[in-house]
């Protein structure tokens, strides 16, 4: 069974946690942590159950772990990266106003996590000529011809809600297959053959109010 086939058979919640483990191991390596790590330590760091971590890792054909010793931090991170089909540096396109994207980049250092900010597009006419990370911001209508030539497969959309669906459609036409959308919009149509992940801040805040209420009872 190929890695791609295994990934398709992996539940969404498990895939999310596997990506979370990869980020955690990356942070540990950048902090200078070396040697072995146990599933209990991973679970404790992320507020998860140790059994959940072990079950998640079992979705990979093999892991660089030894009973009673744990996992090699570097080895496990590399294996997770291969399972998630991550290239050494993954190119990502960003669609949104220069102001919003620049704000995100002030705390999300893409290169630190193995991504390359390969292209920027904005729905705001005032952003023409703006530069982010050394790259000029292009108009959103240039998405299709630009990305088709670059072969970028993943993009992030942080436009005004009124531009979200149009941006998604343009990205799909350019060959993008995975889109992360940060928007308060609830209803979004994913083009055929494109996987769309949404971060809905209003919905997450509503869930938090429920959790806070449960804590206070």
**72-81, 141-150, 208-217: which range is least confident on average?**
141-150
**50-54, 80-84, 94-98, 141-145: which range is least confident on average?**
141-145
The pLDDT assigned to 145 comes to: 77
The pLDDT assigned to 48 comes to: 95
- 64 has a pLDDT exceeding 70: no
What whole-number distance in Å separates Cα of residue 183 and Cα of residue 148?
Answer: 25
Give the β-pairing of 36-37 and 70-72: antiparallel
pLDDT over 70 for what percent of the chain?
A: 93
The architecture that CATH gives domain 3-83 is Orthogonal Bundle (1.10)
- What residue has token string 């998604």? 168
Which of 63, 16, 17, 62 lies closest to 37, judged by CA? 63
Map out the domains of the chain as residue ranges: 3-83, 90-203
If DSSP states are collapsed to H, E and C, what string results for the chain? CCHHHHHHHCCHHHHHHHHHHHHHHHHHHHCCCCCEECHHHHHHHHCCCHHHHHHHHCCCCCCCEECCCEEEHHHHHHHHHHHCCCCCCEEEEEECCHHHHHHHHCCCCHHHHCEEEEEEEECCHHHCCCEECCEEEEEHHHHHHHHHHHCCCEEEECCCHHHHHHHHHHHHHCCCCEEEEECCCCCCCCCCCCEEEEECHHHHHHHHHHHHHHHHC
- What residue has token string 């999300």? 108
- What is the arithmetic mean of pLDDT over 159-177? 94
- 121 has a pLDDT exceeding 90: yes
The architecture that CATH gives domain 90-203 is 3-Layer(aba) Sandwich (3.40)
């Amino acid at each position: 069974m190929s890695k791609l086939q295994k990934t398709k058979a992996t539940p969404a919640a498990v895939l999310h946690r596997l990506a979370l483990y990869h980020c955690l191991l990356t942070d540990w390596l950048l902090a200078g942590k070396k040697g072995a790590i146990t599933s209990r330590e991973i679970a404790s760091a992320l507020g998860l159950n140790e059994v959940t971590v072990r079950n998640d890792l079992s979705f990979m054909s093999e892991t660089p772990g030894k009973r009673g010793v744990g996992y090699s931090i570097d080895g496990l991170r590399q294996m997770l990266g291969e399972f998630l089909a991550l290239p050494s540096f993954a190119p990502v396109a960003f669609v949104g106003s220069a102001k919003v994207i620049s704000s995100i980049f002030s705390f999300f250092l893409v290169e630190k996590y193995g991504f390359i900010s390969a292209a920027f597009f904005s729905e705001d006419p005032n952003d023409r000529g703006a530069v982010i990370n050394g790259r000029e911001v292009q108009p959103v209508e240039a998405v299709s011809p630009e990305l088709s030539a670059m072969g970028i497969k993943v993009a992030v959309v942080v436009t005004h809600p009124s531009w979200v669906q149009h941006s998604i459609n343009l990205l799909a036409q350019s060959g993008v297959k995975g889109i992360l959308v940060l928007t308060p919009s609830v209803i979004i149509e994913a083009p055929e053959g494109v996987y769309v992940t949404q971060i809905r801040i209003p919905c997450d805040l509503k869930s938090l109010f429920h959790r806070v209420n449960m804590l206070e009872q």
